[in-house]
Amino acid sequence: MLRNFRLVLCQFSAGHDKVANLSKARDLIQQATAAGGQVIVLPECFNSPYSTKYFADYAEEIPGTPETSPSVHFLLEAARNHQVHIIGGSIPEREGNKLYNTSICVSPDGQILKKHRKVHLFDINVPGKIVFFESDVLTAGNEPTIIETPYCKIGVGICYDLRFGEYAWTLSKSEDVGLLVYPGNFNMTTGPKHWELLLRSRAVDNQIFVAACSQARNTSSEYVSYGHSMVVNPWGEILSSTEFDEGLVVQDIDFGVLNENRGSIWTRRHKRFELYER
Ligand SMILES: NC(=O)CC(=O)C(=O)O
């Protein structure tokens, strides 16, 4: 069953001071709750600068302890204190000698519902613009992630996962998945070209709500984020978005629109899988 709810995206910029990053996230979650948010989303890499050279230093075990894994326990406490679901952006996760880019999804009773390890690592070389190789230090996850909430099932990906239509379909194919959420952090090379296009495409392809929560833009950072956190409906219409600054995107998710869209256009049942693998 799909039940309407209020979604809030918290766009902010994470710097070198982990304590300050968590404090900023705490303030925004507080504001998101005051705005009536029931599912709250943070950006990719919300506790650390987004750079492969820092991931090991900022990485935490999941769940770890409040002392060894302060970002994890901050999320659990925030969800419990405010009685909300939190899709906790992502943090660098350490398990044994491996690092992952991992989103922790938490229920209102402060329990980890699931963790999503970014399944497609962001490796890119646009000459003169951006070179970034997550695979230098990170290991990819191997599981598609869907969490259950009282409102709908939510499919989760992280940033570069958004580029893969096949992954979005893997998450979306069950009728009770009403929303795809991508904590993200596109940059000033790819963001203006692809961010909105990809969000709207995933929404139309899968006849589903799509939300992506970005870091805010900080021009003095080594990696300059594109911002533009956004919520798109199953028609591919942008319902709400922001630009570069820190702040909230507050959006009511009305599943009447999803039912209307799926009831009017039948692409979900017109798929010809027998052709696509040829
Ligand atoms: N940061 C990412 O994972 C992805 C990205 O910036 C892009 O695909 O562009």
pLDDT(1) > 90: no
Ligand 1 nearest atom to the CA of residue 162, by list position: 8
Which pLDDT score, from 0 to 100, does residue 151 have?
A: 98
Write out the E strands in 134-206: 145-148, 153-156, 177-183
Which pLDDT score, from 0 to 100, does residue 231 have?
A: 99
Q: From CA 250, how far away is CA 273, in angstroms rounded?
A: 37
Contact 62, 115 (CB under 8 A): yes
Contact 210, 182 (CB under 8 A): yes
pLDDT(10) > 90: yes
Whether the predicted model's global pTM rises above the 0.90 cut = yes
Does any ligand 1 atom lie closer than 6 A to the CB of residue 151? no
pLDDT(94) > 90: yes
Which pLDDT score, from 0 to 100, does residue 278 have?
A: 83
Q: Please, what's the b/e burial string for 50-85 (b: 16 or more CB within 10 A of its CB; e: otherwise)?
A: bebebbeebbbebbeeeeebbbbbbbbebbbebebb
Q: What tens digit of pLDDT does each residue of 141-182 get? A: 999 999 999 999 999 999 999 999 999 999 999 999 999 999
User: 4: burial class by Cβ within 10 Å (0-12, 13-18, 19+)?
Assistant: middle
Residue 118 designated active-site: yes
CATH class assigned to 5-269: alpha beta
Does any ligand 1 atom lie closer than 6 A to the CB of residue 152? no
CA 262 to chain centre: 24
pLDDT band at 237 (very low <50, low <70, confident <90, very high): very high
Q: From CA 170, how far away is CA 172, in angstroms rounded?
A: 6
CA 35 to chain centre: 20
Does any ligand 1 atom lie closer than 6 A to the CB of residue 182? no
Q: How far, in Å, from the CA of 194 to the mean position of ligand 1?
A: 10
Q: Which of 10, 44, 45, 93 is catalytic?
A: 44
Does any ligand 1 atom lie closer than 6 A to the CB of residue 122? yes
